[in-house]
Amino acid sequence: MKATIHRLRTALRHNEEGHAIPLLGALVGAAGAVVLGIGAANGSGAAAIAGGIIAALGFILASVLHHGTIDWEVYRRLDDLEKKK
């Protein structure tokens, strides 16, 4: 089981598409949006505020993860190509 999880994590991290990791941030944002909606529907200000904060952090996290996993890899490859010239 542990080896399977390790292989899955390795495949997700080193896959050429690289879009699986930023999905985690979007999922956090979506969960926050659900909590925000539930809090607003129930009239619970604390749940609505917490949900809004979680949603915002999730969407920021998705952007940071995208930049860290996809953009940096592209920049690294471009730098390697420029060094070969």
21-23-24-25 Cα dihedral, nearest 10 degrees: 110
What's the pLDDT tens digit per position in 22-72? 788 889 999 999 999 999 999 889 999 999 999 999 999 988 888 887 777
pLDDT exceeds 80 at position 15: no
Q: How confident is the model at residue 1 (pLDDT cuts 50, 70, 90)?
A: confident
pLDDT of 17 reads 62
Q: What is the pTM of this model?
A: 0.65
Question: Bigger pLDDT: 43 or 84?
Answer: 43
Give the start-to-end residue ranges of the domains of the chain. Answer: 2-84
> How far is the CA of 71 from the CAs of 5, 21, 39, 82, in angstroms?
25, 13, 36, 17
Cβ atoms 59, 29 nearer than 8 A? yes
